[in-house]
């Protein structure tokens, strides 16, 4: 790194939060919400497809996990591509991909074609997630970066709310007679997934990350982009230097994650992604079926809408806590709360006693589980994006996220299989895992609050 020169991070920290940042969070939030619909929508369609295609618990689990298999590929390749060729281009390509193949799932004729379309959807989802988080992270000043990234994840919960409303309208209202203008409701539901392609058009007109440009040797473009950012946010564009200090660490790709200074970080972050993915996807892919089977349903959509509200609340509180007490403690507390809520939820729905006697505990477990798991997700993205250096930021996000998606693909299958022996059998190991990774983080994790990106 050159002596006497400012880094991109130091320049970004001097630029006040303003119009560009709010436009950026609105754009990114829009396609984050769309990702939520694309990921969670299969949960509402599965019960229909189980009946239509006579799926077993195992094959339904495979279909529910197909997009997650795709996300393993998307996380890994998308993260590496974003570090080598740019965040912006990766976002455009992957947003188009997940939008087109979500809509194409409406044309599925059976299990195999549906699995193929969902797999391709997942590749786009995985790539857009890692490139999007890196891009947003690299435009934010240190003192508000964690809060903005956590708020970005809150848009995923907005997507959850939209998913519940869409499912209620399409399946319960418009599709009450079994068809919408002669088309099966589940096909209409997937066809609506083409809408997010509009965000790819918006991203096309946005600038590339100044961190990526500087690290790629495009110093004039990086300085020009930072000057435009300063001008847009009522800063001083004349104060932006034409030359910026960059890291002299060679770009060795995935191997860099296991160098001595990053190895422990990579192992810890991989463990966090693995545990949270296993818990979240194992529980929430089957949640509509679980709530119905447990007999606690006055209105399934009402329950799930309230769950989504608690998810959003958990993320909004995390956006405050992440700057107030730090990343490590916020995430650790949410993980421990997730473990306790999951165990309570499993115990209540496995008790076999009357619904009325357990209604309050059922609600507490269900809502607290959504609150804590989604809050943890929000902080994990912020924490991971900060803890890896620029040259492998997307690679680190992609690698840890892809290992997490291995757990995520197993989650719906394992849960669907073990639930036949009781919900406590299926969920107690998940609750224990959440406790273990929460304690590991609090014990071994490094705090990144207040650190300028490197």
In this prediction, residue 380 carries a pLDDT of: 94
- Taking the CA atoms of 321, 137, 452 and 207 in sequence, report the sign of the dihedral they define: negative
Query: Is the pLDDT reported for residue 299 higher than 70?
Result: no
In this prediction, residue 354 carries a pLDDT of: 46
pLDDT averaged over every residue in the chain = 86
pLDDT, tens digit (0-9, with 9 covering 90-100), for 50-84? 989 999 878 887 898 888 889 989 988 998 889 88
Query: Is the pLDDT reported for residue 420 higher than 80?
Result: no
Q: Collapsing DSSP states into helix, strand and coil, what is residue 7?
A: strand
- Give the whole-number percent of the chain exceeding pLDDT 90: 36
Buried-state track 242-279, b at ≥16 Cβ within 10 A, e below 16: eebbbeebeeeeeebbeeeebeebbebbbbbbbbbbbb
Query: Which ranges in 352-392 belong to alpha helices (H)?
Result: 355-387
Q: Collapsing DSSP states into helix, strand and coil, what is residue 245?
A: strand
In this prediction, residue 116 carries a pLDDT of: 97
DSSP-assigned states of every residue in 125-189: HHHHHHHHHHHHHTTS-HHHHHHHHHHHHHHHHHHHHHHHHHHIIIIIIITTTS-BTTB-HHHHH
Do 93 and 127 meet the contact criterion of CB atoms below 8 Å apart? Answer: yes
Q: List all residues 6 or more positions away from 356 whose beta carbon is below 8 Å from its beta carbon.
A: none
Between 295 and 182, name the one with better pLDDT: 182
- Phi/psi class of residue 253: alpha, beta or left (left: φ > 0; alpha: ψ in -120 to 50)? left
* pTM across the whole model: 0.81
Superfamily designation of domain 8-444:
MFS general substrate transporter like domains (1.20.1250.20)
Query: Is the pLDDT reported for residue 179 higher than 80?
Result: no
In this prediction, residue 333 carries a pLDDT of: 97
pLDDT, tens digit (0-9, with 9 covering 90-100), for 119-154? 999 999 999 999 999 899 899 898 888 889 888 888
The mean pLDDT value for 321-340 works out to 95
In this prediction, residue 352 carries a pLDDT of: 53
pLDDT, tens digit (0-9, with 9 covering 90-100), for 149-173? 888 888 988 888 888 888 888 877 6
Query: Residue ranges per domain, the chain?
Result: 8-444
The mean pLDDT value for 178-189 works out to 83
Using a 10 angstrom Cβ sphere, with 0-12 exposed, 13-18 middle and 19 or more buried, the burial of residue 354 is exposed
Query: Is the pLDDT reported for residue 430 higher than 60?
Result: yes
The mean pLDDT value for 306-321 works out to 89
Between 348 and 89, name the one with better pLDDT: 89
Assign 356 a pLDDT band (cuts: 50, 70, 90): low
Q: Residue 387 and residue 192: Cα distance in Å, rounded?
A: 37
Q: Residue 110 and residue 306: Cα distance in Å, rounded?
A: 33
- Give the whole-number percent of the chain exceeding pLDDT 70: 92
The most distant pair of C-alpha atoms in the chain lies apart, rounded to whole Å, by: 71
Assign 250 a pLDDT band (cuts: 50, 70, 90): low
Q: Residue 323 and residue 314: Cα distance in Å, rounded?
A: 15
The mean pLDDT value for 20-40 works out to 90
- Kindly state the DSSP code that residue 325 receives in the 8-state scheme: T
Nearest Cα neighbor of 246 from 16, 451, 17, 453 is 453
């Amino acid at each position: 790194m050159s002596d006497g020169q400012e880094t991109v991070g130091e320049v970004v920290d001097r630029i006040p939060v303003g119009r560009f940042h709010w436009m950026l969070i609105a754009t990114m939030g829009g396609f984050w919400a769309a990702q939520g619909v694309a990921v969670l929508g299969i949960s509402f369609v599965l019960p229909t497809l189980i009946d239509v295609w006579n799926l077993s618990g195992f094959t339904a689990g495979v279909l529910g996990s197909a997009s997650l298999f795709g996300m393993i590929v998307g996380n890994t390749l998308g993260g590496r591509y974003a570090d080598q060729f740019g965040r912006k281009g990766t976002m455009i390509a992957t947003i188009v991909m997940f939008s087109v193949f979500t809509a194409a799932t409406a044309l599925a004729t059976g299990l195999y074609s549906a699995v193929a379309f969902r797999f391709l959807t997942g590749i786009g989802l995985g790539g857009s997630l890692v490139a999007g988080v890196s891009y947003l992270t690299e435009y934010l000043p240190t003192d508000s970066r964690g809060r903005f990234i956590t708020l970005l994840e809150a848009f995923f919960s907005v997507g959850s709310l939209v998913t519940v409303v869409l499912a209620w309208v399409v399946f319960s209202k418009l599709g009450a007679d079994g068809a919408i203008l002669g088309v099966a409701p589940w096909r209409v539901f997937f066809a609506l997934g083409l809408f997010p392609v509009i965000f790819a058009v918006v991203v096309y007109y946005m600038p590339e990350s100044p961190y990526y440009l500087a690290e790629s040797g495009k110093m004039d473009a990086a300085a020009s982009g930072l000057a435009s950012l300063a001008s847009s946010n009522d800063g001083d564009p004349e104060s932006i230097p034409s030359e910026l200090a960059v890291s002299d660490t060679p770009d060795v790709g995935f191997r860099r994650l296991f160098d001595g200074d990053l190895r422990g970080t990579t192992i810890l972050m991989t463990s966090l992604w693995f545990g949270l993915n296993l818990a979240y996807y194992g529980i929430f892919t089957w949640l509509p079926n679980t709530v119905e089977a447990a007999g606690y349903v006055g209105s399934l959509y009402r329950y799930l809408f309230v769950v989504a509200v608690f998810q959003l609340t958990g993320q909004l509180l995390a956006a405050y806590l992440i700057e107030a007490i730090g990343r490590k403690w916020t995430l650790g507390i949410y993980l421990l709360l997730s473990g306790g809520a999951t165990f309570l939820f499993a115990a209540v729905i496995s008790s076999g006693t009357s619904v009325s006697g357990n209604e309050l505990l059922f609600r507490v477990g269900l809502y607290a589980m959504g609150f804590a798991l989604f809050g943890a997700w929000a902080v994990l993205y912020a924490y991971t994006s900060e803890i890896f250096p620029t040259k492998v930021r997307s690679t680190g996000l992609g690698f840890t996220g892809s290992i997490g998606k291995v757990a995520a693909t197993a989650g719906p299958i394992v849960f669907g299989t073990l639930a036949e022996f009781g919900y406590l059998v299926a969920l107690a190991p998940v609750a224990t895992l959440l406790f273990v990774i929460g304690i590991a983080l609090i014990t071994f994790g490094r705090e990144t609050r207040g650190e300028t990106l490197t």
